[in-house]
Structure 1
Amino acid sequence: MTTSEFVKQFRESDPRKLALQASRYPDVDMPYALNQIQGWQTALRKLPSWAACDGVVYPPHLNMEQCSSEATARYKQQVARRWAERIPNASRTSMTDLTGGFGVDFSFTSRCFDCATYVERNASLCEVVGANLPRLGILNAQVKCAEAEAVLEQLEPQTMIFLDPARRDEHGAKTVLIADCTPDVCQLLPSLMQKSQFVMLKLSPMLDWHKAIVDLDGKVREVHIVSADGECKELLLVLAPDGKPEVQVFCVDILSRPVSEGQYPRSEFVYSIGGEAEPQPTNSKLTIQNSTFLFEPNASVMKAGCFDEIARAYGICAISRNSHLFLSDREIDGFPGRTFAIDAVTTMNKRQLRQTLSGMKQANIAVRNFPLSVAELRKRLKLNDGGDTYIFATTTSDGDHILMLTHKTKK
């Protein structure tokens, strides 16, 4: 049995158990085979269209874990296509990815252009990507093993340049400042603006995107805060030479499980910045008394901090400035986050707590702007984790500590 035959036959098996049977397959390059099997199993979850394609070669486990998911890569593809279609009188479009990595983002964004160039300084990754691209049906691309800065210096004008700078320093520690990433986009900014009609920049979700707008000299036109299944995954910036004072911010939450081939449902909240938003007034006592629904924004909205914009857009009221929870007397279609129906509200008064929680054995607990941690509150309430009840512990604008007992709505 050859190595490729072994991989195909046993790709659904447990790699750890296969490793124990290595002596039974002397003609198989077992370390390589096990890596391919593990890679395929990761792709089945993370890159389903790649897993469905025979012959794709997978890199070491770390590269597979760090690469983009298909859901977020397809989102970048949509952004790239929208911007490319804006280019007037474009007879032939082109893109260059200066930090190619395993090539997931490149494999999707390159389809939006007539020709594409993948650049990566790691020779092993270049070899893998060079073999994978034609297997994935990408025939408009070339692979270059080189440093990003050297390629940029010699690069002909492009429609789009894509960068995903390395976010670890020489000691392996994570970095969140643009200037600490490799390559340093701030240093390359003049060349990037001169040699592209727009730049797509992928950054850490931990980065302060307000500071990034300042650091990138006002060239940022769009900020995309991208979450998958409620977890903030990446920050995507689109830069253009004709920077404008107004910046559009896209708060996106994608369902990472496709409903059909290539279709990943998502919620999206879009707003513009360029001036200071007026605070949303709150009257927490009146609001809580008359509200029947509680709204918890998704991770992208939380990262954006666009709480006043959310309140105005959906006609809802914040419990307090620091609670990041909102209330209304009606359910709202399309709210970017979770919606809960309010069953009861209680203070931390012992008698009131006993009455409200009578007979309750378990609940899901979250704290927002509250003096106790989840563990401390759970211990005080003597409740196990789980069940259909969701308790939100927070502080009103009047300084009252309250618990809101809720359950998820069907929407």
Structure 2
Amino acid sequence: MKYQQTIQDFISEYADADTNRLRLMNIQADFDVSWAILQIETRKKIRHKLPAWAANPNLVFPSLLSTEQCSSELTARYKQQLILPGDLADLTGGLGIDTCYLAQKASQVVYVERMTEYCQAARTNFKWLGADNITVVEDDSTHFIQHCNRCFDTLYIDPARRGSGNKRIFALDECEPNVVVLMPELLRHGRRIVVKVSPMADISAILTLLPEVREVHVVSVRNECKELLLIIDSNTPVQEGFATIYCVDIDATGQESTFTFSLDKEKHLPHSAPCEAVARYLYEPNSSILKAGAYKSIAAAYGVDKLQINSHLYTSDCYLPDFPGRKFEVVEVVDFNAKSVKTVGKQYPHINLSTRNFPLTATELQKRIKCKDGGEFYLFATTLADNRKVLIVTRKAVNA
């Protein structure tokens, strides 16, 4: 459906309205009101995730689910550097965010999608976005690749991660399509395969299922893990267990912080000697590093001591401005007991609280301390190497 001016006016007028209440109103119009309300609802969902698309009045959105499952603009832009120059096929087109951004780097792109309404929306959106190097093909990804008579420089695939009853699926070989089964066919038709998988998926399990994976990109946006991306090159065999892991965090401005390691080297690194006491600075690796499990690699790379083998917090007497994660200056360290809980609560009525390797959740500890979120101080409740439970009060570090 193309926009008429009356629909655009309606969407603009009710852009911030409660869509549930709108549906209950008896609105008379010469257009499909329920469809227009869907456009309002989807735009509200993607304001932060896809600001440029949300602000474009000409774009259409086929469903709410399509906006929930699609990539953000930041992660879609990151994928541009992962593809080879030349032709590309996006085998699971969906809303078309990845397709559109990849088309800015590829010469010719084929968007493959089995749902008719998604294909119709994609044709409209690609036209308005000036993406004239994209061809829309309505087909199932497996059928398309099995009957394809051409080879692409890059094949991109994002298997559906929802099963029966809309249940979320994390295991790679349970998604649709099953890329483990489909991989021989993909390798016959693509020089490079880029696979997007759930950020909850187990990286070691993935590398066991797909030992040919060359790179794993663990991508976070503003310290929240969003995507795992697998890179497989048909002409570059990889020794099993030696895939390079890229831990990437993208901030609100699009700036990237990257830490690189391999699971094989991580496994063979010795554990850093646990610190005897918390030093002047405390470091919390970003979520991509924690997801990837680079616990020993990050300590070795930056010369920091780990508080305890399971705490995943690090400390040093010198300030490390380039450490990939949050950096804090330690204000005080107190043993966790009934007296200290009361003292901390009185001294810091507003404090940002988190727990790592600690018997209480952050919510439970907050009730004990009787504090509120916020303020300039950050409290880490954790366990030290001697199994002592402590409360570490910190503030964000500045260049020192």
Superposed displacement of residue 108, structure 1: 0.7
Q: Does the residue aligned with 2:365 lie in a helix, a strand or coil?
A: helix
The yes-or-no answer on 1:182 pairing with 2:201 is no
1:90 maps to: none
TM-score (norm 1): 0.88
- Partners of 1:201 and 1:77 in 2: how far apart? 13
Q: Does the residue aligned with 2:112 lie in a helix, a strand or coil?
A: strand
Q: Does the residue aligned with 1:253 lie in a helix, a strand or coil?
A: strand
- Partners of 2:348 and 2:203 in 1: how far apart? 43
2:143 maps to: 150
TM-score (norm 2): 0.91
Superposed displacement of residue 238, structure 1: 0.7
2:120 maps to: 127
Distance 1:41 1:271, change over 3 A: same
1:55 maps to: 58
Q: Percent identity?
A: 35
Q: 2:53·2:59 contact (CA, 8 Å) conserved in 1?
A: yes
Q: 1:39·1:59 contact (CA, 8 Å) conserved in 2?
A: no
Q: 2:47·2:54 contact (CA, 8 Å) conserved in 1?
A: yes
Distance 1:44 1:376, change over 3 A: closer
1:236 maps to: 229
Equivalent positions of 1:2-401 (< 5 A) are 2-7=5-10, 9-10=12-13, 12-16=15-19, 19=23, 23=27, 25-80=28-83, 84-85=84-85, 93-155=86-148, 156-216=150-210, 218-241=211-234, 242-245=236-239, 246-255=242-251, 257=252, 259=253, 264-275=254-265, 276-285=267-276, 287-288=277-278, 291-350=279-338, 359-401=347-389
Superposed displacement of residue 374, structure 1: 2.3
Superposed displacement of residue 37, structure 1: 2.5
- Partners of 1:367 and 1:391 in 2: how far apart? 8
- Partners of 2:292 and 2:258 in 1: how far apart? 12
* Count of residues in Structure 1 that have an aligned counterpart in Structure 2: 390
Q: 1:22·1:30 contact (CA, 8 Å) conserved in 2?
A: no
Q: Does the residue aligned with 2:52 lie in a helix, a strand or coil?
A: helix
Unaligned runs of 5+ in 2: none
Q: 2:345·2:371 contact (CA, 8 Å) conserved in 1?
A: no
Distance 1:5 1:378, change over 3 A: closer
- Which deviates further from its counterpart, 30-39 or 321-330? 30-39
Superposed displacement of residue 122, structure 1: 0.7
Q: 2:308·2:383 contact (CA, 8 Å) conserved in 1?
A: yes
Superposed displacement of residue 45, structure 1: 2.3
Q: CA RMSD in A?
A: 2.2
Q: 1:342·1:404 contact (CA, 8 Å) conserved in 2?
A: yes
